[in-house]
Amino acid sequence: MNALQRLIADYKADTGESYAKIAERGGLPTSTVHSLATVESRKQTPHPDTIAALAKGLRMPPSRVRSAAADAAGYPPDVPQEMNTEEGRLIVSAFHTLSEERKRELARRARFLLMEQQESDSE
């Protein structure tokens, strides 16, 4: 069971509420809540609007649901606030999983993009 599934399961166990009730309160389709609660493998986090709606349905802060969703998608939990975006979490996750050679390649490409950005900003 991933972190998002556990969060939803714990909420249901504590409140006795159904997926339909959670979905209704959050303004989501029941099928979305059911999918988030039952699909083990997640390649990415749900859309921010879905996270916000699920948080409302679960009566908890969006940051808590966002953290569980990021964990379920395989992103490390220690993402700095300024990188707390889909792209930022992907970069952090890549850094934690890439070989040393690929990390050097990622850094080389980042330097290139930064130089390109600086040139563009100075025009």
Q: What is the mean pLDDT of each run of 10 residues along the chain (123 residues)?
A: 93 96 97 92 83 96 87 72 74 77 87 85 79
Rounded to two decimals, the pTM is: 0.64
Both 111 and 51 in one domain: the answer is: no
Both 103 and 123 in one domain: the answer is: yes
Both 66 and 91 in one domain: the answer is: no
The residue type of 41 is S
CATH number of the domain within which 60 lies: 1.10.260.40
- Other CB atoms within 10 Å distance of the CB of residue 57: 23
Both 86 and 37 in one domain: the answer is: no
C-alpha–C-alpha distance, residues 69 and 63, integer Å: 10
Residue 17, phi-psi category: left (phi > 0), alpha (psi -120 to 50), beta (remainder)? beta
C-alpha–C-alpha distance, residues 17 and 23, integer Å: 10
How many domains does the chain divide into? 2
